Amino acid sequence: MELSAAMPSPSTESAPTERADARGVLEAHGALARRYRQVRERTERLLAPLSSEDCQVQSMPDASPAKWHAAHTSWFFETFVLAPRLAGYRAFDASYAYLFNSYYDSVGPRVARDRRGLLTRPALAEVLRYREHVDRHVARLCAEAELPPELCDVLEVGLNHEEQHQELFLTDLKHALAQNPREPAYAPAPEGPRGPRAPRAPAAPLAFVPYAGGLVEIGHAGAGFAFDNERPRHRVFLEPFELASRAVTNAEFLEFVRAGGYAEPRLWLSDGWAERERGGWSAPLYWREQDGEWSSFTLAGRRPLDPTEPVVHVSYYEAEAYAAWAGARLPTEAEWEHAASGVAPDGHFQDSGRYHPAPAAHDPSGRPAALFGDVWEWTASAYAAYPGFEPWRGSLGEYNGKFMANQMVLRGGSCASPAGHLRASYRNFFHPHARWQFSGVRLAR
Ligand SMILES: [Fe+2]
C-alpha cells in the first residue's frame, strides 16, 4: 500500500551526518512508539468503567458497540501496518478480517454495519487479548532500526484513526445508555469549576465579530499530520462576513423551542421538515420536558438543562432552522477556517473527563471564543473535494474521499475529541439528519 508523497514523514526530519541521521531516526521511532502507547492506553481507559454487557450493545445502525471499536482500531493496525510490513506476521484470528473491517471494499467483505451488535463472540476479554497481540507486534516493528518513512506515516494515520474512534466510542455509548430506562451514567462529572454543581455565570452576551473577507487561503499546509481531505491548500474568495462570538446556548435554543420553532415549516429545509416529522423531533436529542422543567441526558446521567452551556445534539437541519429563526445563517467552512486560522486549537476536550460542553468564556482578544472543543459546529458547506484533491493511494484512499456526497462539514471538535487531535483545517462530516454526535450551532451573517 502506498500513501501520497504529501504525507508527513517523521523519520525524515534527521540531522545531516550519518550518525545524527541514525539517532534522529531512532528518536523519531521512540516518539512514535510512545505516542502509540498513549493512544492505545487511552482507548483502554475509556473502556475501563464498562461491563462487557455495556460493550456489546448496538443502539442503532449508525452507532457501533464499544467492543467493536476496540477491535476495529486494532484491525486497522493489523491490516495496514503489520500484515504488509512485519515479516512473518500471523493474524491473531483470520475471521477478524471479516468481523472488524468497517468500510474498506478493496480490503474485503465484512459484517453489515447494522449487525455489529450481534457479534457476541469474540468476547470482550478476547478482543482485549487481540489488542495486546497487535500492540506487541507494533512494538516489535517500532524497534526495527530501518522503519521506512511511509510506514511511520501509516502508523500516524492509524493513531489519528483510533483518536476518531475514541470520540465515536463516547457518542455511540451515550446513545446506547440513553436507551436504557434507568439512563445510567458512564462517569460521574468532575468536581471543580467545570463540574455540574459549579456556580454558573451567565453566558457571555452574543456578539458578532467582523471579517473583511477577500481572497484567503484554506486547507492544510506545511508540516504535521493532516488527513487527505484537508489538502491541498487553496484560495477562496470570501465576502465580508461576521461570525458569532460563541456557540448558541441552551437558553437561546429553548427560546426557539418555546416560540414553536419545531412547528413552523417555513423555517425548515424540506428534507429537514420531513426528518422532523419522521423522527417526531420537538427539541434536541436527549432533551426532555417534565412539568415545565427541561433536562438533558449526559454521560454523567440526566440533569437539569443548564441554560449557559452550548446547545448540543442538534442535526444540521435543526441548526439551519434555528439560524433562520434567529435572522442569521450558518458559516461556510471557509469562513470558519479563516476565522480560526492562527488560533491555538486548545479548548475543552475529552481529556477533561466532563464529556459534555461547557459554557464559553468571553475571549478577551475579541476573537470568537471556544472555536475548538465543546461542540462540533455545523457549517453551511457540503462535504466535497478541494480543488486538486488527491486521495491517499491504495486502500487508505477509501478513508475520506468516497464519502464526499450528501454530507455536511462540521468544524472545531468537541468535548469528546481527544486533545491534540484537531487543527483549523480539520474537516469532520456527517449526514444532515445526524444528531448523536456532539454537534452544535455557531451563527454567522
Ligand atoms: Fe474506522
pLDDT in tens, 264-274: 999 999 999 99
CA separation for the pair 428, 378 (Å, rounded): 9
CA separation for the pair 61, 216 (Å, rounded): 40
* CA 105–ligand 1 middle distance (angstroms): 13
CA separation for the pair 195, 298 (Å, rounded): 12
- At 196 the pLDDT is 57
Q: Give the H or E element holding residue 67.
A: helix 66-77
Beta-bridge partners for 241: 211
Average pLDDT score over residue span 354-381: 94
* 417: nearest Cα among 387, 370, 360, 374: 374
- Tell me the pLDDT band of 146, cut-offs 50, 70 and 90: confident
Average pLDDT score over residue span 243-264: 98
pLDDT tens per residue, range 269-292: 999 999 999 999 999 999 999 999
* CA 308–ligand 1 middle distance (angstroms): 34
- At 24 the pLDDT is 64
* CA 74–ligand 1 middle distance (angstroms): 10
Q: Is the pLDDT of residue 427 over 90?
A: yes
* CA 224–ligand 1 middle distance (angstroms): 21
Average pLDDT score over residue span 426-439: 98
pLDDT tens per residue, range 86-109: 999 999 999 999 999 999 999 999
- How do strand 408-411 and strand 234-238 relate by DSSP bridges? unpaired
What percentage of the chain reaches a pLDDT higher than 90?
84
- At 198 the pLDDT is 58
* CA 62–ligand 1 middle distance (angstroms): 13
* CA 29–ligand 1 middle distance (angstroms): 24
* CA 104–ligand 1 middle distance (angstroms): 9
* CA 113–ligand 1 middle distance (angstroms): 12
- At 19 the pLDDT is 47
| CB 288 within 8 Å of CB 294 | yes
* CA 165–ligand 1 middle distance (angstroms): 7
For the CA atoms of 152, 157, 158, 164, the dihedral, rounded to the nearest 10 degrees, stands at 150
- At 26 the pLDDT is 63
128 exposure class (CB count in 10 Å sphere: 0-12, 13-18, 19+): middle
- At 189 the pLDDT is 82
- How do strand 301-304 and strand 293-298 relate by DSSP bridges? antiparallel
CA separation for the pair 333, 444 (Å, rounded): 11
Which tops the pLDDT comparison, 223 or 274? 274
Average pLDDT score over residue span 115-121: 98
- Tell me the pLDDT band of 6, cut-offs 50, 70 and 90: very low
* CA 63–ligand 1 middle distance (angstroms): 12
* CA 161–ligand 1 middle distance (angstroms): 6
Neighbours of ion ligand 1 (CB under 5 A): 102
CA separation for the pair 344, 423 (Å, rounded): 8
- Tell me the pLDDT band of 223, cut-offs 50, 70 and 90: confident
pTM listed for this prediction: 0.93
Which tops the pLDDT comparison, 348 or 8? 348
* CA 73–ligand 1 middle distance (angstroms): 6
Average pLDDT score over residue span 181-202: 75
- Tell me the pLDDT band of 10, cut-offs 50, 70 and 90: very low
- Tell me the pLDDT band of 365, cut-offs 50, 70 and 90: confident
- At 25 the pLDDT is 62
